A and B are shown apart, each in its own frame.
Chain A
C-alpha cells in the first residue's frame, strides 16, 4: 500500500474542512446513487465517481454521496436521487457522467433541479 504517512496530511486537511461543516448540519444535501446489479450494469460506478470528482473540485462542504440498492425501475438506471436540505427529493434517470457537472452546478449548488434529466421528463417523453 502507498505510504500511510501521506494519510496524516490528508487527515489534517479533511479535519480543517469538516470543522467548517459541523456548525450547520441542517444544510446537508444528499446524493444517493442506485448501485444494485441493474445500476452497476447500466454504468452507475462512473457516475458515482463523477459526483465525487465534481464535489472535490468545487470543495463543497455540505454534500454527501452514498449508494442504495435496487429501486425497482431498472430500465431507468443509472438513477440518482438528490435530496435537498428541506427534504425534497428529485430523481434523475439514465444519468451519465457528462450530466453530473450540470446537476451539481444547477441543482446541488444553486437549488434549481435540471428538469430535462428528471424522471418526470423521461416518463413524459
Chain B
C-alpha cells in the first residue's frame, strides 16, 4: 500500500464483511506527531481465538483461499514508522483497530487522499453501513457523518454522482487544513 488511506479502504472492508451498521473512523494527530488511525465497528466481532490468529497472513475468513494480507500489511507499515497496531474485539459487540504511525519517521507513509477514500467507501456502500469520520490535529478538527447526509437527502441514494462529488469536495476542503502537512 502506498499510503495510509489505502490501508483504510482495505481495513474498513473487514468491518463491512462483519455486518457493521456503523463504522467510526478517526485520524488523530497529536502534539507528539503520532498519528492514530482508528476504525471502530459494531459488526459481529471476533472470538479470542480468531483475535490471536488475525495478525498472521495465513488467517482469513474467506473460504476460497488461505491468505489474508490486510492486517499484516497495515502492521508492517505502522511498525516501520516505529508505531504499532492494537486490536480489541468482542463477539457480538464489534471490533476496534488502532494503528499508530510516527509521522516524523522517514519510513512513515503519507496519509494520502483521505477524501477520495471516504467518498469511494460511501459510494461502494451506499445503503449500509453508516460511516463517520473525525480528523483532529493541533491545527483543528472536523467531523463527517453519512447518517446526517442520509437524513438530509431523504431517500436519494448516496451513490448518485452528484452526492459523490459533493462528499468528495466537502471532505477535501475540510481535511486539508487539519492533516495537510502529512498528506503527501
Q: Interface on A for B, CB 8 Å cutoff?
A: 1-2, 4, 6-8, 10-11, 13-15, 17-18, 35-37, 40-41, 45-46, 48-49, 52, 55-56, 64-67, 69-70, 72
Q: Which residue of B lies closest to A33 (CB)?
A: B124
Q: Are A52 and B123 in contact (CB under 8 A)?
A: yes
Given A45-B116, A72-B64, are A7 and B159 neighbors across the interface (CB < 8 Å)? no
Q: Are B152 and A37 in contact (CB under 8 A)?
A: no
B162 within 8 A of A: yes
CA distance A46 to B5 in the complex (A): 12
- How many whole Å from A119's CB to the nearest CB in chain B? 19
The 9 residue pairs across chains A and B that have the minimum distance between CB atoms: A2-B170, A67-B124, A56-B161, A7-B152, A4-B152, A14-B160, A14-B162, A40-B9, A14-B156
Q: A46-B116, A64-B159 are known; give 5 further A-B pairs, CB within 8 A.
A: A2-B174, A10-B162, A11-B152, A40-B6, A65-B159
CA distance A13 to B69 in the complex (A): 41
Q: Which residue of A lies closest to B71 (CB)?
A: A37
Residues of A within 8 A of B161 (CB): 52, 55-56
Residues of A within 8 A of B73 (CB): 37, 41
- How many whole Å from A30's CB to the nearest CB in chain B? 12
Q: Interface on B for A, CB 8 Å cutoff?
A: 1-2, 6, 9-10, 13, 62, 64-65, 68-70, 73, 113, 116-117, 119-120, 123-124, 142-145, 148-149, 152-154, 156, 159-166, 168, 170, 173-174
Residues of A within 8 A of B143 (CB): 1
Chain A binding site: helix, strand, loop or mixed by DSSP? helix
Q: Are A1 and B159 in contact (CB under 8 A)?
A: no
Q: Are A52 and B165 in contact (CB under 8 A)?
A: yes
> Number of A-B pairs whose CB atoms are under 8 Å?
95
Q: Are B160 and A18 in contact (CB under 8 A)?
A: yes
Residues of B within 8 A of A1 (CB): 142-145, 148-149, 170, 174
Q: Which residue of B lies closest to A12 (CB)?
A: B156
Given A13-B162, A56-B165, are A45 and B152 neighbors across the interface (CB < 8 Å)? no
Chain B binding site: helix, strand, loop or mixed by DSSP? helix
Q: Are A48 and B170 in contact (CB under 8 A)?
A: no
CA distance A50 to B159 in the complex (A): 14
Given A7-B153, A37-B70, are A48 and B123 neighbors across the interface (CB < 8 Å)? yes
Q: Which residue of B lies closest to A69 (CB)?
A: B13
Given A1-B142, A1-B145, A48-B123, are A37 and B153 neighbors across the interface (CB < 8 Å)? no
Residues of B within 8 A of A36 (CB): 10, 13
Q: Are B154 and A37 in contact (CB under 8 A)?
A: no
Given A18-B156, A56-B161, are A35 and B9 neighbors across the interface (CB < 8 Å)? yes
- How many whole Å from B40's CB to the nearest CB in chain A? 19
- How many whole Å from B16's CB to the nearest CB in chain A? 10
Residues of B within 8 A of A11 (CB): 152-154, 156
Q: Which residue of B lies closest to A5 (CB)?
A: B152
